[in-house]
């Protein structure tokens, strides 16, 4: 197909990349439903996709990645700049020149015998002041079909680009899916991304992590806004007014579930409703009214399947009943899908994510249980299919943000919720947050790692500069959102969760909004403001006061250890970490010394 564009630079670049990758043909995607169907059929006949049972799951398909290609490979992900300090130490660094030279070898002839698809896409509503355009070249139909769900893609983006619009140059090839030659390379100085030898979503849907977080965070710093790993949620309060919050949690810590939570009975009766704006990424700008405004640059969800069911996320279960791409889950013999934590009982006749015949309870030769779905198996679905989708998804100026939440998975230490004293303290809390590693990253699951703003794997520049940018943003927002830390995952000594989570988290969000409006008092503690015993609405939730006390306990000894971890962590991020972060740490230590009782424990007034 001839390119329907007058954009000379774009055409030249496509030709140049085609000369390197040598595809048999180049195909420009128009984004139409007809094209989607045609490509889907082609992928089904080639075996790249499996058609699922169309009566059970209309419009749904199934895909398996290579066994060595199931999660983002952070160790093979690089921010490539001329000056090492502009990227390292939190990022892996390569010089621009070296990175291009090495990857050129991997891309050379990589698309022989294949088609190169040209995908023009927009992150953010087309025409919005937030929108950034990109063009991804790929030899994978799976990528084209996913990009059509996750972004606004096709001819309308070429129109918006006109003859000389700015765009991010995204090049992807599966090549041979060779792990030793896998590279996910970002060139912020050239507005370019190259990804090779992978087929896993987070590595290859280049609009998502690569553009909307790593490249966008670099652009955001230059242009005075924020690109963040945050869900965006509308909370319609009794009376019909909707407030919006954005919340950052590391991968696989429940952003998708929180973004579409179902209010518990008591709160529903009061009149609360939830509206989903986004489940993974937020772009935030200062609006003319002096508030912070957010858009979700994506148009779909690439969610983790295991654990998703009618209890944890009924809205998502409705969404993925049609027009969904399932990756690395269990394929049932009846053409349905299943994963650990699904509502249905485990299938007797099925194939697991590795393609082996499988049934629940199966053991390998060492006697270890064989899983059905990979722990990081996924579904890709349009946000349009989510019953709680907000009617402001396509609003060009987004939604105004009242509160920012940060949180991780912490079995100990962090109370259910606490509020920062002010913007700078909030930036410190966010910059020093930590979480236990999950299956979304390669590495040792469960290990606590510092993950500033949940952006450790996604900040496209020096982390110290990123903290400074956050501090500077505080000065630019006349009416800034309030900042909170939450931890839904605190456990008792037996490893049992103290808080039920999911829909019940709305009780915490209600307090957050009340605090934003300064409607309720709070207890001042060494780490921030905590709710007192009358300010969380606990109607219908039967949690003993001892458990509540544990949820809000601040253990002085553990917090001093945390301060040591924070100090080491800040040092590990290099010289550019602003002094103000160390000053906040000193103040925290001082408050802990002054405030804690004789037993070294401090309770909010539960």
Cβ at position 229, least distance to Mn ion in Å: 6
Residue 295 touches which of Mn ion, ligand OXD, none (Cβ within 5-8 Å per kind)? none
The residue among 377 and 390 lying less far from ligand OXD, judged by its C-beta, is 377
Binding mask 426-455 for ligand OXD (x = CB under 6 A): --------------x---------------
Residue bearing tokens 């962590």: 569
Please work out the total of residues on this chain that contact ligand OXD, with binding judged by CB under 6 A: 6
Quick one: what does residue 440 bind among Mn ion, ligand OXD, none, with the CB cut-off 5 to 8 Å set by partner type? ligand OXD
214 is in the binding site of which of ligand OXD, Mn ion, none (Cβ under 5 to 8 A by kind)?
Answer: none
Q: Which among 87-95, 108-116, 241-249, 280-288 is the span making contact with Mn ion, rule CB under 5 A? A: 280-288
Select the span of 166-174, 272-280, 463-471, 583-591 touching Mn ion (CB under 5 A).
272-280
Contact with ligand OXD (CB under 6 A) among 198, 251, 377, 462: 251
What part of residues 189-218 is at the interface with ligand OXD (CB under 6 A)?
Answer: 202
- Where on the phi/psi map is residue 495: left (φ > 0), alpha (ψ -120 to 50), or beta? left
- Rounded to a whole number of angstroms, the minimum distance from the CB of residue 133 to Mn ion is 22
Alpha carbon separation from 523 to 206, 425, 530, 543 (Å, rounded):
45, 16, 5, 20
Cα separation, 467 vs 577, in Å, equals: 7
Closest CA to 504 of 172, 268, 236: 268
> DSSP of 527-550, one letter per residue?
TEEE--TTTS--TT----HHHHHH
Residue 188 binds which entry of ligand OXD, Mn ion, none, with Cβ cut-offs from 5 to 8 Å by kind?
none
The residue with its CB nearest to ligand OXD is 251
Q: Which two tokens stand for residue 371?
A: 């899983």
- CA separation for the pair 305, 34 (Å, rounded): 28
CA distance 408 to 414: 9
Number of residues binding to Mn ion, judged by CB under 5 A: 2
Nearer CB in complex with Mn ion: 280/323: 280
Q: Which is nearer to ligand OXD, 86 or 280 (CB)?
A: 280
Contacts to Mn ion from residues 87-106, by CB under 5 A: none
| Angle between helices 579-595 and 556-572 in degrees, nearest 10 | 170
Stretch that binds Mn ion, among 124-132, 277-285, 525-533, 566-574 (CB under 5 A): 277-285
CB of 545 to Mn ion, least distance (A): 36
| Alpha-carbon dihedral 126, 457, 325, 38, rounded to 10 degrees | 50
Q: Are 380 and 327 in contact (CB under 8 A)?
A: yes
Q: Does residue 128 touch Mn ion according to CB under 5 A?
A: no
Measured CA to CA, the distance from residue 406 to residue 34 in angstroms comes to: 42
> Choosing among ligand OXD, Mn ion, none, which partner's interface includes residue 347 (Cβ < 5 to 8 Å by kind)?
none
As measured in angstroms, the least distance from the Cβ of 585 to Mn ion is: 28
Question: Is 253 a residue of the active site?
Answer: yes
- With CB under 5 to 8 Å by kind, the binding choice for 302 among Mn ion, ligand OXD, none is ligand OXD
Residue 303 Cβ vs ligand OXD, minimum distance, rounded to whole Å: 8
Give least dist CB 251 to Mn ion, A.
Answer: 5
Phi then psi dihedrals of residue 38, to 5 deg: -65, -45
- Taking a C-beta distance cutoff of 8 angstroms, is the pair 204, 140 a contact? yes
Instruction: Pick between residue 280 and residue 553 the one whose CB is nearest to ligand OXD.
Output: 280
Q: Which residue sits closest to Mn ion, CB atoms considered? A: 280
Nearer to Mn ion, 294 or 551 (CB): 294
Taking CA atoms, 456 is separated from 7, 144, 435, in Å, by: 36, 28, 11
Footprint of ligand OXD on residues 54-93 (CB under 6 A)?
72
From the list 260, 502, 230, the residue with the least C-alpha distance to 388 is 260
Residue window 547-586: x/- pattern of binding to ligand OXD, with contact defined by CB under 6 A: ----------------------------------------
Which does residue 336 bind out of ligand OXD, Mn ion, none, counting CB within 5 to 8 angstroms by kind?
Answer: none
Query: Which tokens in the block code for residue 163?
Result: 């003859």
Residue 173: contacted member of Mn ion, ligand OXD, none (CB under 5 to 8 Å, by partner type): none
| Cα–Cα distance measured from residue 44 to residue 296, given in angstroms and rounded to the nearest whole number | 31
- In whole angstroms, how close is the CB of 302 to ligand OXD at the nearest point? 5
Written as six digits, the tokens of 170 are 């995204």
Q: Is position 280 an interface residue for ligand OXD (rule: CB under 6 A)?
A: yes
CA pair distance 325, 373, nearest whole angstrom: 14
* 302 binds ligand OXD per the rule CB under 6 A: yes
Report in angstroms how near the CB of residue 525 gets to ligand OXD at its nearest. Answer: 31
Q: Which residues, numbered 198-257, are part of the site for Mn ion (CB under 5 A)?
A: 251
Nearer to ligand OXD, 215 or 416 (CB): 215
Picked from ligand OXD, Mn ion, none, the partner binding residue 93 (CB below 5 to 8 A depending on kind) is none
* Dihedral sign from CA coordinates of 152, 156, 160, 161: positive
Which C-beta is closer to Mn ion: that of 251 or that of 352?
251
Q: Do residues 229 and 205 touch, judged by C-beta distance below 8 A?
A: no
Q: Is the dihedral of CA 343, 344, 345, 346 positive or negative?
A: negative
Q: Residue 72: which of ligand OXD, Mn ion, none does it interact with, CB under 5 to 8 A by kind?
A: ligand OXD
- Asked if 451 is part of the footprint of Mn ion (rule: CB under 5 A), the reply reads no
- Name the active-site residue from 21, 253, 301, 596: 253
User: Between 248 and 404, whose beta carbon lies closer to ligand OXD?
Assistant: 248
- Alpha-carbon distance of 472 to 424, in angstroms, equals 10
Reduce the DSSP state of residue 103 to 3 states and report it: helix
Name 186's Cβ contacts closer than 8 Å, sequence gap at least 6: 77, 78, 79, 80, 192, 193, 210, 214, 215, 460
Q: Which residues contact 460 (CB under 8 A, 6 or more apart)?
A: 79, 91, 186, 188, 213, 214, 215, 216, 217, 218
Q: What does the binding site for Mn ion look like in residue numbers (CB under 5 A)?
A: 251, 280
Q: Which residues are catalytic?
A: 253
Q: What does the binding site for ligand OXD look like in residue numbers (CB under 6 A)?
A: 72, 202, 251, 280, 302, 440
């Amino acid at each position: 197909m001839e390119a329907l564009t007058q954009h000379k630079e774009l055409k030249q670049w496509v030709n140049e990349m085609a000369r390197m990758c040598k595809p048999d043909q180049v195909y420009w995607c128009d984004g139409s439903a007809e094209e989607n169907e045609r490509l889907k059929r082609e992928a089904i006949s080639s075996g790249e996709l499996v058609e699922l049972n169309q009566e059970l799951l209309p419009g749904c398909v199934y895909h398996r990645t290579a066994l060595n290609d199931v999660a983002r490979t952070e160790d093979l992900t690089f921010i490539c700049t001329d000056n090492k300090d502009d990227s390292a130490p939190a990022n892996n660094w390569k010089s621009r020149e070296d990175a291009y030279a090495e990857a050129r070898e991997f891309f050379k002839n990589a698309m022989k015998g294949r088609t190169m698809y040209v995908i023009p896409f927009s992150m953010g509503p087309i025409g919005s002041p937030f929108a950034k355009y990109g063009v991804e070249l790929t030899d994978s139909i799976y990528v084209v079909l996913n990009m059509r769900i996750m972004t606004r893609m096709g001819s309308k983006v070429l129109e918006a680009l006109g003859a000389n619009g700015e765009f991010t140059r995204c090049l992807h090839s599966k090549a041979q899916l060779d792990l030793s030659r896998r590279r996910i390379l970002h060139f912020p100085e050239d507005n370019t991304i190259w990804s090779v030898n992978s087929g896993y979503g987070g590595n290859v849907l280049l609009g998502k992590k690569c553009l909307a977080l790593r490249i966008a965070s670099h652009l955001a710093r230059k242009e005075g806004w924020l690109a963040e790993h945050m869900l965006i949620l509308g909370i319609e309060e009794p009376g019909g007014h909707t407030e919006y919050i954005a919340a950052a949690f590391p991968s696989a810590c429940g952003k998708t579930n929180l973004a579409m939570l179902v209010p518990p009975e008591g709160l529903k009766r009061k009149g609360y409703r939830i509206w989903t704006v986004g489940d993974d990424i937020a772009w935030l700008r200062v609006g003319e009214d002096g508030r912070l405004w957010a858009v979700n640059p994506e148009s779909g969800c690439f969610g983790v399947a295991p654990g998703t069911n009618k209890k944890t996320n009924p809205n998502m279960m409705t969404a993925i009943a049609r027009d969904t791409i399932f990756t690395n889950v269990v394929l049932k013999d009846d053409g349905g899908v299943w994963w650990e934590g699904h509502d249905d009982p485990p299938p007797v006749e099925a194939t697991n994510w590795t393609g082996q015949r499988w049934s629940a309870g199966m053991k390998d030769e060492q006697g270890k249980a064989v899983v059905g779905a990979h722990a990081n198996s996924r579904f890709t679905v349009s946000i349009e299919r989510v019953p709680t989708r907000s009617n402001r998804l396509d609003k060009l100026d987004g939604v105004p943000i009242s509160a920012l939440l940060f949180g991780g998975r912490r079995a100990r230490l962090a109370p259910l919720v606490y509020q920062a004293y002010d913007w700078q303290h909030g930036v410190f809390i966010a910059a020093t947050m930590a979480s236990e590693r999950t299956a979304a990253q390669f590495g040792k699951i469960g290990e606590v790692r510092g993950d500033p703003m949940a952006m450790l794997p996604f900040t496209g520049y020096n982390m110290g500069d990123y903290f400074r940018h956050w501090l500077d943003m505080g000065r630019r927002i006349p009416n800034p959102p309030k900042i909170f830390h939450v931890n839904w995952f605190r456990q008792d000594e037996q490893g049992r969760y103290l808080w039920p989570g999911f829909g019940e988290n709305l009780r915490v969000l209600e307090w957050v909004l009340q605090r934003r409006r300064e409607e309720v008092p709070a207890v001042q503690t060494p780490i921030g403001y905590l709710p007192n015993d009358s300010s969380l609405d606990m109607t219908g939730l039967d949690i003993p006061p001892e458990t509540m006390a544990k949820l809000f306990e601040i253990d002085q000894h553990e917090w001093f250890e945390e301060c040591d971890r924070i100090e080491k962590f800040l040092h590990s991020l290099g010289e550019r970490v602003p002094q103000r972060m160390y000053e906040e740490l000193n103040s925290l230590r001082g408050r802990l010394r002054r405030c804690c009782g004789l037993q070294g424990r401090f309770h909010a007034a539960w």
